[in-house]
Every structure is written in structure tokens, then in C-alpha cells.
Amino acid sequence: MNPSSPKYSYAQTDHGQMHLRIWGDQKGINIVCLHPMPYSGSYYDTFCQQLVSSTAYSAVALDFIGYGRSAMIDNPISIKEHAQASVACLEEMISAGIISDDISLMGFHTGSAVANEIAILYPEIVHQVIFVTYPYFEKSQRLELLRTLNKDSIGEDLNSLQESWDFTISKRPQGIPFNRAFSNFIEQLQNADRNWFGFDAMFNYPSEKRLTLIEHPVLMINDNSSLTEATIKANEMIKNSVYEELTDAQGGVFELNVDQIIQHVCAFLQSQCN
């Protein structure tokens, strides 16, 4: 397979079809990438392309139910349901011989919570877990975040797009190409009436209880963001973790800090083989 582009496929779940991007030759270690909501698996394109070009690893990037090219939903589903759908997708692909079963999970933001839940519910399918930041909130914080969650969609006035445009385009970290940022902006528009679904799932997820249950080796990668302290707290709750911090990380880490992330991932996975 050409390392510069993925193969696309679909699998059936209880919530409808799930779309995935398949990178590399799918022999040996396979890093399954779980995206932040409200984006899709394309969020990992730069990472996956560089990973399979520079290492012997393969990768799979899922589109969660409700996002990307996966089935749409009318109401939020839980982190547990996202985990169940993701595993149904992976098991179908493994059974068909399409992807490697030597799976390590990688999550970013909300994707980290889904990775955590997969590892708890389906420990046999996972070997290692990688969190690139973790949105950890205590119960009182989660309740307040749910209370103030903005569920508004796009209005008829172009001004309703301004906040998303500024966050994704105008105020994007220096070094992120316009076309990459614009792709993320389009994904926000595609999910405009459902952007809040992922936040609802995350704020209803009791990380304070679930993080203590993961038994797998964990690599926790932190950056410099609004989740820096939350990630440190999450790491303190995990039984068996390796903690690393990115240097010069000012946002857009899966575009601007890919080399560092791959370096930490490779060192961690190699240490688990010794």
C-alpha cells in the first residue's frame, strides 16, 4: 500500500456503518487512532502518513459514529457506546484479515476516553494504550460543564460561523497549512447540529472511576494547552503509565509535533517488547 494515502473501508455496528482509514501493510504493530470530536479520523492523516513512512508500524483511523463518513445519529451516544461500536468495527476488519490484530490504541482528547473504555471492556483486543492528553474532570466539574454546554447550531447569519472560523482558521497555530485548517473547519460545519454530542459524552463519562480500572501499559503524552493540568491528574490515576511531555507544543500537535509524538510512541512500544 502506498504510505502516502490510506485505503478506505466500512464495517457494520449496532449504530450503523463505521468508516475507517487503513494505513500501511497491516503487518505487526497496528496503532488504532481515535479522534477528537467533532472531527473525524482524517485528523490523524499527517501523523499516520509519517508513521507508516518512517517506521514498520501500520495504523487505522476510525470515524466515530456520528462523525466523518460514519453513520449519522440524531442523539448523543455514550463513551461506552462509542467504544462498543469501535470494537465491532475492529473485530470485523480483523476477522476479514484486512487489519492486523496487534493493536495499540491512541486517543486524543475525547478519543482518549474512548480508548480507555475499550481497554477496560475489551482487554483482550488491546496490547498498549497511548493518550495524547486526557480531558479529565471531576464529577462537580463535569456537571457544571454539562449545565453550560452550548447546543446551538449554525444560524442563517454568517456571523454564526465566526467563532468556529476564528478558532480553526484565523487563530490557528503558526505552521499549520491553511488547507489543513480549512479541512477541520469543514468538518465542524458538517457536524454543526451535532458538534455538542461528543462533549455530552465526555462530560457524562466518569473518568474519576474509569481511569483506575485500566490494566494495560499506558503512555501519557502531555502538551501545553487547556488540558495540561487535567492530563497530569489523569496520569496520576493510572496504575502503569509512562509520562512524557512535548516540547515547544503550542497547539496543533498532530500537525506540528508529529516527529516528537512518533519518537515517544516508538520508544514506548519498543520498551514493551523487551
Read off the pLDDT of residues 138-154 as tens digits, 9 standing for 90 and up: 999 999 999 999 887 67
Count of CB atoms situated within 10 Å of the CB of 175: 11
Q: What is the Cα gyration radius of the chain?
A: 17
Average pLDDT, the chain: 93
**What's the CA gap between 273 and 207, in Å, rounded?**
29
pLDDT tier, 168 (very low <50, low <70, confident <90, very high otherwise): confident
pLDDT, residue 158, reads 74
Across 52-173, the runs of DSSP E, i.e. the strands, are 58-62, 102-108, 128-132
pLDDT tens per residue across span 72-119: 999 999 999 999 999 999 999 999 999 999 999 999 999 999 999 999
| Domain range 7-269, its CATH number among 3.40.50.1820, 3.20.20.450, 3.10.310.30, 3.40.50.970 | 3.40.50.1820
Domain boundaries, the chain: 7-269
Q: Which residues pair with 104 in a beta bridge?
A: 31, 128
The per-type count for the chain, helices as H runs and strands as E runs, is 11, 8
Write the DSSP assignment of 216-262 as a string of letters. Answer: S-EEEEE-SSTTHHHHHHHHHT-SSEEEEE-SS--S-HHHHSHHHHH
- 269: phi > 0 → left, psi -120 to 50 → alpha, else beta; which? alpha
Could you report the per-residue pLDDT of 187-207, keeping only the tens digit for each?
Answer: 877 777 888 999 999 999 999
pLDDT value, residue 188:
77
State pTM to two decimals.
Answer: 0.93
Q: How many CA atoms lie within 13 A of 188 on its CB side?
A: 19
pLDDT bin (cut points 50, 70, 90) of residue 2 is low
Q: Nearest-CA neighbor of 146 among 193, 194, 202?
A: 202
